[in-house]
Amino acid sequence: MKVKSVAILGAGNGGGTAAADLTSRGFEVRLYESPEFSENLEETKRKGGILLKDDNGEQFVKPALVTTNLKEAISGAQVVMITVPTTVIKIIAKECIPLLEKDQVVVIHSAASLGSYRFMNLAKEMGITTQFKLGETNTLQYGTRFFADKAEVELGLRAKGVLVSALPSSDIDKVYDAWKQIYPTSVAAKNIFETTLNNGNPESHTGPGICNAGRIEYSKGEFYLYKEGITKSTVHMIKAVNSECRALCEAFGFEAKTKEDRIADLGYAPEYRGDLQRQYNSSPIYCNIKGPTSVTGRYFVEDISNGLTIWSSIGRAIGVKTPVIDAIITIGSTLLQHNFWEEGETLETIGLGGKGLNELVNLVK
């Protein structure tokens, strides 16, 4: 299948950027946003497109469709790209599943959290039997910001080596064939556990975020985690979580990259490979990202409740200890006055509870 038409569901940083980037490269793009957040599309509609700023300069691009009508966006698209926070996967899934068509390739393009398994479970619960193909990436394909109020994208990086998996994993050829036409440098993963365990956000955000909670609140949002919050001491938090995550990867037989190598391979400050603090502090892409502006934002809530809690539950299931991950979940629960041990997603809440390593792998084949 030659991919020409792509529906993008969600007009945040990832969706807005993908719409501009793919349009600039000749794809027919339909950008959708929920009516609840229609303000994200107002300026794009008013201007008739998006101003894309990247290393090639500036280009004004016009997506084929900008809409709050989900059926209109999905109908006839060959690839359906879902670019929403992992915390609302179920919401968008419930809305779009009945509209999906035979052989459409659906990819959850965000920070991986076994979202495709939740998506497929919901399709089964709804009695939907349409034979679409489903996958997810480990992270966003971009280092970017979409300023919806100006209809402008500031694209700092097109990431390389982003993983994409399929559910079931036996569908990887069809999912990857479509996805690599859109993102040629992407890499096929063995299964959805490999993409989930290579989501870098819970490593980067949670430990350093907690360590900087006072500064975040005192600054009233004038804070840059990567530039000022990743220091000689807080970088140890990232490395410790990464070490436990690598142990989980090794148990599954996946490549277990250090944090330094993973972000360098993606294209973030590769010249400083091996010096994690310098990679964060010196990368113009990282340094220009403002936030978190609040301890109730996604760097805390999403990355603990849809990241660390899943990793911890995987560790318990396969017999790999995760003491630092567990400690961050507990401290984060105290800090935010939320019990993430009860509220967070786990293998149990997703429908994979009580399974060992081999059973988990076989269930997603």
Please report, for the domain that includes residue 76, its CATH number. 3.40.50.720
Residue 104: which domain range?
5-196
Q: Are residues 218 and 349 in the same domain?
A: yes
Read off the pLDDT of residues 106-136 as tens digits, 9 standing for 90 and up.
999 999 999 999 999 999 999 999 999 999 9
- Single residue among 156, 173, 196 that ends a domain in this structure: 196
Q: What is the pLDDT of residue 288?
A: 87
Query: Are both 188 and 90 inside the same structural domain?
Result: yes
Do 145 and 52 fall within a single domain? yes
Clarify whether residues 70 and 178 are in a common domain.
yes
Residue among 124, 112, 152, 135 nearest 19 (CA): 152
Torsion of CA 111, 113, 116, 121, to 10 degrees: -150
Percent of residues in the chain assigned helix, strand, coil, to nearest 5: 50, 15, 35
Cα distance between residue 249 and residue 267, in whole Å? 22
50, β-bridge pairs: 61
Measured at the CA of 251, the angle between CA 114 and CA 234, to 5 degrees, comes to 75
| E strand residue ranges, 284-342 | none
Q: Is residue 118 domain-shared with residue 240, that is, in the same domain?
A: no
Could you tell me the CATH number of the domain that includes residue 308? 1.10.1040.10
Q: Last residue of some domain: 175, 196, 217?
A: 196
One domain for residues 359 and 241 = yes
State residue 277's pLDDT score.
Answer: 97
Task: For the chain, list residues with pLDDT below 50.
Answer: none
Residues 60 and 178 in one domain: yes
Output the furthest CA–CA distance in the chain (Å, rounded): 55
Question: Distance between CA atoms of 323 and 55, rounded to whole angstroms?
Answer: 42
The β-bridge relationship of strands 105-108 and 133-137 is parallel
| d(C-alpha 146, C-alpha 31), whole Å | 13
Phi, psi (deg, nearest 5) at residue 130 = -60, 135
Q: Answer yes or no: do 168 and 240 share one domain.
A: no
pLDDT of residue 221: 86
Provide the number of structural domains found in the chain. 2
Question: How far is the C-alpha of 255 from the C-alpha of 123, rounded, in Å?
Answer: 31
Tokens of 22: 């793919």
